[in-house]
Amino acid sequence: MDSLQIPQQKSFLSQLQDSVAAKLFLIGVLTLLLLIPSSWIQSLISEREQRQEEAINEISEKWAGSQLIESPVMQLPYKTSLKVTDAAGKVTFKEVISTIYILPENLNIQSQINPQELKRGIFTAVVYNARIKIKGGFSQLELKKSGINPDMIDWSKVKITAGISDFKGLKSNPVIRLGDSLYTAEPDFSKENLFSNSLAIQTNLTSTKNTSLDFNIDMELAGSGELNFLHLGKNTTVNVAGKWDNPSFTGSYLPEKRNTESKDFTGAWKMSNFSRPFPQQWEASNNALTNQNKEKATFGIKFLLPVDHYQKATRSAKYAILIILLSFISLFFIELLNKVRVNLLQYVLIGAAMIIYYSLLLSFTERVGFAVAYLVASVSTIVLISTFIGAFLSNRKAAAVFAVILSIFYIFIYVIIQLQDLALLFGSIGLFITVACLMYFSVKINHNKPQSANA
């Protein structure tokens, strides 16, 4: 009598892996778990980007920071009376010294800029040397508007003040021509400073008592990153020129004329006093040059690096979970269509390889640039995973199919990153096509196993 053979029961894990629904659930859980190392990669990119900013700041500290040119302002000291009431109610008048500020009637700035790259380790910063010529003139003090007695003005201590945001960039003391006289500007550390860093000259106008004067300033200035100007003239014109591949015009005003099509860039601004938030003259008690007002009247040019590698690496890493999920689903479809079995450990190893891909991308990006790094990391990952799939499935065709699918995914993400403004449109179309393909292949899968015939 033949002995009865009792069929071996499958383990719970084997039953889970044989069930389509359970397998999909495990893939979903694994994908969610891979969010953790994916977030680590994004944190690593942010850390490297912060290190780049620190390196750029170190270069700027040693060279000179971004520069803001604040054109000359005339300061007229005058005597006035201040009403004082004591505790007993007695009223007295105290003589104090106040200031009238006059802005230029016409302001013309010409700037020839020579940007260049400086490296600190693997990081790069943009610095520049600029030759700046400032010309203009002050108009006559409007006494009716100020309501000031001209006899109260101290014409012997008239001051002309200009602002430079970082003195370290000055190659020498700027020479200011005021009328027919030449003056060497000196740093001004007085309490009445209009600017964070002021250059000033003091002149005696007692003989003429006339504020209608022309001025001329020539300076050589170093800086980094960007060069900005403050619109202070009643009529302001600014012209900049230089050689750089990626100039960007920034601030509250865009140039009327510009040329950035070649390495030789130019920009020309022309503005009136209607577009600035302060009057032509004011008293110290009514300060118009506040930081908020300055921001509204600042404009200039920024020198961008040719490629922002970290920004592209960050955008690529944000798609990590999408690529991993689509790759897992594609592998699952290959598993079902070819009637083979891929265990959970193999999914884990494939997911790990796809996470390490972003570490490869970041490290190579810092050395050879994003495009080459993307190619190297993508090809390496595709070859590794497809070889692994071909080995454990013993099916070269399935491995080749997965390699093609993964290649399409990486090419798609690269195109999306390059498109920028059209990324949403093409990304949506790409995802729609992907879902349509998954729907098409899903109908080919028979989830119902054939029933065995009864003896």
Return the pLDDT at 2.
Answer: 52
Nearest to 255 by CA among 321, 302, 199, 295: 302
Cα gap 1→18, rounded to integer Å: 35
Helical H runs in 9-161? 12-18, 20-33, 35-62, 143-146
**In 86-234, where do the E strands start and end?**
91-102, 104-120, 123-138, 158-164, 175-178, 181-184, 186-188, 198-203, 214-224, 226-230
Task: Tell me the mean pLDDT per 10 residues along the chain, length 455.
Answer: 51 55 82 88 87 87 91 88 71 77 93 90 88 92 72 88 91 88 87 84 86 90 93 94 90 90 88 89 80 90 82 87 88 81 86 92 88 93 91 85 91 85 81 84 58 38
Q: Check if the beta carbon of residue 127 is closer than 8 Å to that of residue 59.
A: yes
Cα gap 366→48, rounded to integer Å: 9
DSSP 373: H
CB-facing half-sphere around the CA of 113: CA atoms within 13 A: 32
How many helices (H) and strands (E) would you count in the chain? 11, 17
Residues 413-445: b if buried by 16+ CB within 10 A, e if exposed: bbebbeeeeeeeeebeebeeebeeeeeeeeeee
Closest CA to 336 of 406, 388, 393: 393
Residue 135 near residue 216 (C-beta atoms within 8 A): yes
**Could you tell me which residues are beta bridge partners of residue 188?**
198
| Domain coordinates in residue numbering, the chain | 20-51+309-442, 66-303
Report how far residue 79's alpha carbon sits from residue 74's, in angstroms, rounded to the nearest whole number.
17
Cα–Cα dist 368/378, whole Å: 15
Tokens 């065995």 found at: 452
Q: What is the pLDDT of residue 128?
A: 93
pLDDT for res 159: 92
Burial 105-129 (b: 16+ CB within 10 A, else e): bebbbebebebeebeeeebbbbbbb
SS3 label, residue 357:
helix
